Structure 1
Amino acid sequence: MQRVREQVQVPEQLHSGAGRVKSVTVAVLDTGIAYHPDLVGRLLAFSDFVEGRSFPYDDNGHGTHVCGIVCGSGELSGGRFRGMAPEAKLVVGKVLDRQGEGSCDSMQEALEWVLRVKNRYGIRVLNISVGIGDLKERYKEQMLRKSLELLWDHNILVVCAAGNTGPEDGSISEMASSRKVLTVGCHDGRYCKNDPGRCETYSGRGRRYDVTRKPDIVAPGTRILSCNAFWQNRNGRIYRPYVAKSGTSMATPIVSGAAALVMEKYPQITNEEFVRLLSLTATDLGEPWNKQGFGMLNVRRLLENK
């Protein structure tokens, strides 16, 4: 995460807490959240749409990794692997099981839950590092899209992963195809150029000539170090507190965390204003639109150019 913060230009002084108005709450729908020292004090609410359990858990690890990218404190790394917005709070819904599989019904129920608890927890951002393929039941896809757009209309910035089924034209995840969703692709810029497994090679891409141009933005996503749900404390010695993961799932919470930083500074900003600001401040990578969108996230410009 240190490399990521440098690459997307997160000002270091932000982490001193100076100039903050109040913390922003980010909802994360994923595999859940496990106890991790970097995430202590972050979780406001948890709901399990898979097993119906009442306590927070993550039997896969994906969700904990995503939450660490959003707002991990970096406690076990001396701050080195802290997340994008360490002051942010979390509301977490478990919609995927141990294998990372889920159903449209669980996702639909979770989206309705987020809308119900929006005001109670002050949710401003929804992170969905989850993709779905082509659905045989078209009406379920339409229901999900309608729910995502309803959340957007209630001033929740919906941030969705472009998916990892690229690089073919039109390979964006169905969850991320709406114009009322901020779609995040994966690109590491000058990093990982010689790595054949770098995320940009499989990041989902939009259709070149669609009216709705996707993705909207790209962020780093190759070998991102964040919280490991399966860390261990053996007689006071910490083992494997962090783990590296790759994909648009990792790029997405980088953008969600950046959005939280902007909303901390500008509490009244709307979704539309944020997207406009994003378009004006992104770094053009010289790639086709259906690969990079506006370009690479640039947090310093986001915070300085409103």
Structure 2
Amino acid sequence: MLAALVSLALPPSGVPTAVADDAITHQDYADMLGLKDLHAKGYTGKGVTIAYVEDKPDLSTPELQGANIEVREACPFQSVPETISHSTTVASILANKDWGWAPEAKIINYRVPTEGTKEIPEENCKSRLSESNKVYAQINRALSDGVDIISLSIASPIEESIAPAIARAAQMGVPVIAGADNTVGDTNRSFGNLNTVAAVGYTNLEGKRAETSSRGKHVTIMAPGEGIAERIPDSSGNLTKLGKGAGTSYSTPMVAGLLALGKQKWPNASGNQLLRSLINTANNNGQGWNEEYGWGLIDPVKFLTEDPTSLEDTNPLWEKIPGALPNQQTLADYQDGLTDPVTLIGDSSYVYRGVDDTIVTNYPDISEYATSPRYHKK
């Protein structure tokens, strides 16, 4: 799967050369949504942990100075400048002190190889396609580490093996936010096609859906994603040029960051309640859900005004795509200890309780043969 992992950003446009020390100090979307006012009121994401899964950012860039960012990887690999550039923009949208959504949150980059990255032979990694480096393994690690929100600005053809990790996140009340992809029609490569995952489309600064923002049953919410100032590589691979980027790659961390502000204000609210509030407070001109805008454009002020703690504490997106994974059976199998542990690498809490001798042989340390509650239900 990771061989096909790609970013959800469109190619940059308008690329003037810039000196590396020139910081990006302004983003139009921050003005559009009043981020400075929110920060001035103390909404900064303090005390909240956001995980984002993709290649590593360049922590030396001016935009990330002072940000609380940690990189965690399962196995080292060699990056390419384009993937570092993309990750740096995503991290900056989350954590930049001037225009990041949650500048005082803790940001953890769970690193995975994306398109173009290579193995480092001397590191003795089996392969950059190895199970330990897959997206679901990093999601499971993030959940085991106790993160509050998970953000995915990458895309790949969906494999069934990711479903248990996503179901686990829903059970734990940890929102998973993913880009809806950048195609004219519906798409099947966005992680937003998974049930329980909030798929984010993108708009221009007037709140109109961008032509390339995917539409379909998977779309949940919208956020700005055009005209994003970003650092891109020069001929030497250093991030010394500035360009303008667009795509659901960049609307996705905006939604994750907004959820972090909500979690800060209402620490007792579950991720499920915050997701419900995000949907309830979105602006779609009273039209309800549709395939172009989902539930509508995020409304930060309204979201941070309405207390979510009285809302139902279940994920509101279990049935957004009938027949898709994960489903309630996925969750039941996980809860009953009947999921194959190969899809739960990084889950430090899981115990296999089934009767598959091969699985028990392969995973003796986390197996308790035939103890699943399903076998003992009356």
- The two structures have a TM-score, normalised by structure 2, of 0.62
| 1:1-306 equivalences in 2 (<5 Å) | 2-7=27-32, 9-10=33-34, 12-16=36-40, 18=42, 22-35=46-59, 36-49=61-74, 51-52=76-77, 60-73=84-97, 79=98, 82-97=99-114, 99=116, 105=131, 106-118=134-146, 123-133=147-157, 141-165=159-183, 167-168=184-185, 170-171=186-187, 173-188=189-204, 190=206, 200-207=210-217, 214-226=218-230, 228=231, 240=241, 242-284=242-284, 289-306=290-307
Question: Counterpart in 1 of 2:20?
Answer: none
C-alpha displacement of 1:16 = 3.1
Which AA in structure 2 matches 1:4? Y
Mapped to 1, the partners of 2:177 and 2:214 lie a distance apart of: 15
TM-score, structure 1 normalization: 0.75
SS of corresponding position for 2:168: helix
Unaligned runs of 5+ in 2: 1-25, 119-127, 308-378
Q: Pick closer, same or farther for the CA change 1:270–1:290 going to 2, 3 Å.
A: same
Max Rg structure: 2
2: CA distance between counterparts of 1:259 and 1:272? 11
Q: Equivalents in 1 of 2:45, 2:95: separation in Å? A: 17
Cα distance in structure 2, aligned partners of 1:160 and 1:176: 5
RMSD: 3.2
Count of paired positions: 265
In the TM superposition, what is the alpha-carbon distance from 1:38 to its structure 2 partner?
2.7
CA distance in 2, matches of 1:163, 1:113: 25
Contact persistence 2:44–2:103 (CA under 8 A)? no
Preserved CA contact (<8 Å) 2:179 2:192? yes
Kept in 1, the 8 Å contact 2:45–2:104? The answer is no
The aligned amino acid for 1:124 is: D
In structure 1, what is the Cα distance between the partners aligned to 2:117 and 2:225?
18
TM-superposed CA distance for 1:66, in Å, is 0.4
Q: 2: distance between equivalents of 1:180 and 1:3?
A: 31
* One-letter amino acid of the structure 2 residue matched with residue 87 of structure 1: E
